[in-house]
Each structure stands twice: as C-alpha cells, then as structure tokens.
Structure 1
Amino acid sequence: MWAWVMSLWGAVLGMALAPGEPAHITIVGATSCLSYIKAVLPDFERDHPGVTVAVAGGGSVAGLIEAGRGRADLGLSDIPPEPQWTGGISMTSYPLGRLPILFVVNRADGVQHVTEAQLRGLLGGTIRRWNQLGGRSWPVIVVSRPLASGARYVVEHRILQGRPMSSHALIELSNGALLRAVAETPGAIGYVEGPQVIPHIIRLRVNGQTFSTQHPLRWPYFATPRLYARTPVSNLVRSLARYLTTRPQRVQFGIYPEESSS
C-alpha cells in the first residue's frame, strides 16, 4: 500500500516539476541585442513568479550551437541556423526585427561618403590608402568583429559578396570595443550594429544614402536577429520568445520591427 502511495506521490511531483516547462530559462547568443533583452526581462519574470531567465553572450554562432544541442532554451542569432552549427536539428525561429549595420570611420580619415564598391574595397583590403578616395595619405586600418559575429556574417555576404575580410583586420569582440578602436585609431574603418553614437567617428554615407532613425527600413544594410529554439518548443519558452519579439522597447535599442515606418 505505502509503496503504491509513494509511487503515486512521485509521479505527481514529476508532473508538477518537469513536464517540459523549465522554471529556469537560458538565452545565449548575439551580444548586439543583449542590452534590450536584459532591459525587458524583469517584467516577464515579475509576471511569471518562480521563473528566472539567465542571459549570456558569446556570439550568434554560439547561440545556434547551444540551442541546437539543448544547452540553451533560446539561441539569439543574426545568422541563419546552418546544420554545421545546429546539428541539423529542427529549429523554430522568432524574429526580433531589423538591426541596422552602420559603417564608421575615424573623423580624421577625410572621407565621409563612398560607393558600395569602394566600401567593398576598403573592407576587403584592395583599397589600402585613404588618399585613393580623396582622404588623408595614410593607410586604411580595418577593424572587424570575430568570425562568430552575426554582423561580420552580414557584411561578408552583403558587402564583400562572399570575399574574405582584409587579412590585416584588427578584431574586436563587441560593438563598443570596435567603436572605441575606430575613434582612437587614425585610418580606421569598421562596422557596428545599431545606431550608436560616439565622438570622433563618422558614419559613412553609402551610395549617397545615410541611415535615419525616422526612416530606418530604408537603410539597405541590416541584420535580422532571431531567437531560435529546438522544436517542439515548450509553452513557457514560447511565451518568453513571443514576449521578447513584441516589446515596443525594441526601437529604443535600435531594433526596428518590420512593420515600423519606412
């Protein structure tokens, strides 16, 4: 009799604690959207007593790998979930919106606008001195994000068209570090996600176009960050993903919903 009661009680506990609804959720991935996610998570946790959410960076590739292997509930990535990173696991995606990629140069370089072809030459290393574009007579110094970065993936595919980044590029692990390096290095050029502002840098005009927060969707260079979860997705994880992809605060962090004014 007691054995049957204890067995039943164990089953009840199991149903209460672990039917695929974790009380602890982990998000891993692209650093570009972490500030936004951390800013809005307290409201979600307040509305879901007993639920905690841990957030870690590591880059888009890390997000896909960790989500694909089940070590993270949600992977945050700017790049598609290729099988080499997810192990071919079926993934459900939740789009956050558009994250503009802006090209920045040191204020002293003497160049403020380029064509897309010239931008390709600068980042790819075939244009090596600024005076080739009417600027100062010093070398071009490319500052890039690492291979795991979603921003780099977009730049290599959209601007460089599959060609490699300059082999002499300096590598910075975050948008903030890259901006500081460009600001402090005469001759530097780099790229960042989001309309960040810092002294001593210039946002390049490309093909006569400049990024505007009034018409963000007109800017043609952008990443599309998404949250990825292994399929099937638990109700709680799905609820969090949908919450994060619908908050109006996204715009404050440079993430523009596809339906926003263009």
Structure 2
Amino acid sequence: MKAGTVLLAVGAALLLPMSARSSEITVVGSTTVQPLAELLAEAYQAVNPGVIITVSGGGSSVGVTSAGNGLCDVGMASREIKESERQEFPSMAIHVIARDGIAIVTNPGVGVTNLSKSQVRDIFTGDITNWSEVGGPDQDIVVVSREEGSGTRAAFEEMVMEGVFLITGAAVLQPSNGAVVTTVASTPYSIAYISFGYMNESVAAVSVNGIAPTAANASAGRYPIVRPLCMLTPGTPQGDVKAWLDFIMSPDGQAIVSDEGYLPVQ
C-alpha cells in the first residue's frame, strides 16, 4: 500500500464518529450496585456496540476513592457519601441511580418472622445471643456481617446501629452480599443483612417492626431500612460516560432498576 493511501486510511479512521470507535468505561466499587451495573451495561452495549463497559467490585469505599482519585471512569457506592469524602474529593459528582432496601435474613430453620428494629440492633451488638430471647428456638445466634468498607454495612450501621453501637466481634465476616447469602443459607441459626436485590428462597426474610422487606413497602416509606445506590464520577461526566448515565436515568434504564427489585428514582 502506498504511503499516501495509508495516511488517507488513518485520517478516515480519525474522522469516524464516536459511535463507530471502541471506547471503554471502567466501573469499580459496591458489590450491591455491581450486578445492577452489569445489567445496565449489557443493555447499553446492545445498542452501542462501540462502547465496552467493564464492571468490577471491591466495595463502596473502593468505589469512592477510585472515582475521587480518577482511577476509574465511574465508581459505585451503596450508601450515603460521607462528608469527609465530599471534602476530600470536592470535584467528584454523585449520581443517585436507585434506592435499595436492606433486608434482615435468617437461615430458614430459625422460624422467627418478625423482629423490632431494636431487637435487630441488640442481636448484632451481641446483647441478644439466643433465639429464644426473641421467640425462636433455644439455640445460639450466629451473626453474619459484611466487612469494613462495605456500603451495605455502613448503611446498616447508620440506620440500625444508629452510628453508635458496634457490631459484635463474634460476627462471621463476608466480602460480598452473595457470600453472605451463601453463608446464611448453609449455617443453622444464622442471621445477616443483605441488599433487597440478593434475597432469594435459600434464606428467610424477616419483617422489621411488622413491615415486610418488599419494594412496595420501601417505596411507600413504610420499610425502615432504605439507602441510595450511587454512581460517582471524577467530575462532571462527559462523552460516553454521560451517555451511559443518561441511559440509566431514562425510562428504559429505570425499568431495569425496577425489574431487579430496586427502587427507581425517576
């Protein structure tokens, strides 16, 4: 091929519209938001094949610091952004894409169907240690919790533990919502907290203050443990990142949010 032809080919490639080029968006953070983000990415890529969106976990704190430091295009967090984080990363933009309830779940063999919010708190502090104290069998309670840095844990600590009471040191710690579900399903007399989006038939959901953990109850303001799901960008989103976030907030994107058991914000 002649040099002039090569130059013309390169020039033509440079003049291609953005939709015809390969563009990558990196997304990092909350394991609660991760499966939802993956579905939203798949739906967007189906009509925008020139955009590649890679989604990975790590926890909400990783999502905040990665976005704040510009180490990814989009961070994910499943909790309120702390004031200290807002001050550390003043240019970081926060986009609430959905809301999510936190469900209290037990191993199906426990048989307790309702707990007051204060009983939940006392179980997780270790003040209540036997199921018989809350109407269940005479068996020791196995507390399962997320690790430090988890957005689900941070939201639970804020809304249930009131930011003051500490989760018992005897708790079995797990790195993700999925790992929590697997542990509770296989561990007799266990209890944990998980995102609504991870509830399934392998664990038993518990009502809190007599209110069942359903999307309808959360949307109506009846269920007491609800938190935001956030996408974070290093600054004002531009280009393909903005286009993807716009899709997420569109009727099609919010329909996916609703279909997955989360609460749409539009």
TM-score norm. by structure 2 comes to: 0.83
Offset at residue 35 of structure 1 (A): 1.9
Tell me which residue corresponds to 1:251.
258
How many equivalent residue pairs?
Answer: 247
Tell me which residue corresponds to 1:66.
66
1:227 maps to which of 221, 228, 231: 231
Q: Which runs of 5+ in 1 are unaligned?
A: 1-12
Offset at residue 136 of structure 1 (A): 1.4
Quote the Cα distance in structure 1 between the aligned partners of 2:246 and 2:171.
Answer: 38
Structure 1 residues 22 and 74 mapped into 2: Cα distance closer, same or farther (>3 Å)? farther
Matches within 5 A, 1:24-35: 24-35=24-35
- Deviating runs (4+, > 3 A) in structure 1? 13-18, 46-49, 80-87, 213-216
The CA RMSD measured in Å over matched residues stands at 2.7
Residue by residue over 1:135-174, the C-alpha shift from the partner in whole angstroms, topping out at 9 and shown as x without a partner, is: 1112111101111211101110100111111111001122
Matches within 5 A, 1:1-262: 23-82=23-82, 87-162=88-163, 163-195=165-197, 196-199=199-202, 201-217=203-219, 218-246=222-250, 247=253, 248-258=255-265
Structure 1 residues 43 and 180 mapped into 2: Cα distance closer, same or farther (>3 Å)? closer
SS in 2 for 1:143: strand
Quote the Cα distance in structure 2 between the aligned partners of 1:245 and 1:146.
Answer: 30
Q: Structure 1 vs Structure 2: percent identity of aligned residues?
A: 25
Structure 1 residues 132 and 31 mapped into 2: Cα distance closer, same or farther (>3 Å)? same
Offset at residue 47 of structure 1 (A): 3.5
Quote the Cα distance in structure 2 between the aligned partners of 1:43 and 1:186.
Answer: 39
Residue by residue over 1:91-119, the C-alpha shift from the partner in whole angstroms, topping out at 9 and shown as x without a partner, is: 11211111111001122224221111111
TM-score norm. by structure 1 comes to: 0.84
Quote the Cα distance in structure 2 between the aligned partners of 1:22 and 1:178.
Answer: 37
SS in 2 for 1:183: helix
Structure 1 residues 56 and 125 mapped into 2: Cα distance closer, same or farther (>3 Å)? same
